[in-house]
Chains A and B, each alone.
Chain A
Amino acid sequence: MSEKITIDEVRQVAKLSRLKLSEDELQQLSKQMGSILEYVAILDELNTDDVEPMAQAVEVRNAFRADELAESLPREDALANAPASDGRYFLVPDILKKG
Chain B
Amino acid sequence: MSGDYEIIIGLEVHVQLLTNSKLFCGCANKFNPDNPNVQTCPVCLGLPGSLPVMNRHAFDLSVRTALALNCRIAEFTRWDRKQYFYPDLPKAYQISQFDLPFSHSGWLDVRVDDETQTRVRLIRAHLEEDAGKNMHDETGSGAGSRVDLNRTGTPLLEIVSEPDIRSAVEARRYLEELKLLLTYIGVSDCNMQEGSLRCDANVNLHIPQDDGSKLATPIVEIKNMNSFSNVEIAIEYETRRLFAEWQETGARLGDIPKTTRGWDADRGVTFAQRGKEEAADYRYFPDPDLIPVTVTQDEIAGAKSELGELPTARADRFKSQFGLSAYDAKVIIERGPRFADYFDAVVEVCDEPKLAANWTTQEVLRELNDRGIQADEFHITPIVLGTMLQRVRDEKINNAGARKLFTAFLEAEAVAVADVDRLIDDMRLEVVSDTGQIEAVVQEVLAANPGPCADFRAGKQAAIGPLIGQCMKKLGAADPKLVRSTIVNLLTE
Contact = CB atoms under 8 A, between A and B. Distances in A.
A and B touch in the complex (CB under 8 A): yes
Interface of A: 16, 18, 55-56, 58, 60-75, 78-79, 84, 86, 88-97
Interface string B20-51: 11000111100000001111111001000000
A65 B87 contact: no
Given A67-B20, A67-B21, A69-B20, A58 B291 contact: yes
B335 interface: no
Instruction: Kindly state the interface size class of chain B when it binds its partner.
Output: 35 or more
9 contacts: A18-B85, A65-B26, A72-B28, A88-B36, A90-B148, A91-B145, A92-B147, A94-B137, A96-B274
Contacts of B292: 61
Contacts of B142: 94, 97
A64 B53 contact: yes
Q: For chain A, what secondary structure do more than half of its interface residues adopt (helix, strand, loop), or is it mixed? A: loop
B43 to A, nearest CB: 10
B149 A78 contact: yes
Contacts of A86: 146
A93 B144 contact: yes
Interface stretch (B56-64, B364-372, B464-472): B56-64
Contacts of B26: 65, 68-71
B28 A69 contact: yes
Contacts of B37: 75, 78-79, 88-90
Residue picked from A78, A79, A84, most chain B C-beta under 10 Å: A78
Contacts of A64: 53-56, 59
Contacts of B147: 89-92
Contacts of A75: 36-38
B146 A61 contact: no
Interface string B291-330: 1111000000000000000000000000000000000000
Contacts of B135: 89
Contact of B291 (A16, A56, A70, A88): A56
B254 interface: no
Nearest to A79: B37
Contact of A94 (B58, B144, B290): B144
Contact of B145 (A68, A72, A73, A93): A93
B146 A91 contact: yes
A64 B36 CA distance: 28
Contacts of A18: 85
A93 B147 CA distance: 11
Nearest to A53: B286
A62 B294 contact: yes
B25 A70 contact: yes
Interface string B140-154: 001111111100000
B172 to A, nearest CB: 31
Contacts of A70: 21, 25-27, 41
Query: Top 5 A-B pairs ranked by shortest CB distance?
Result: A70-B26, A67-B57, A89-B146, A64-B56, A90-B147
Nearest to A64: B56
B28 A89 contact: no
B169 to A, nearest CB: 35
Nearest to A18: B85
Interface in B56-77: 56-59
Contacts of A16: 281, 283
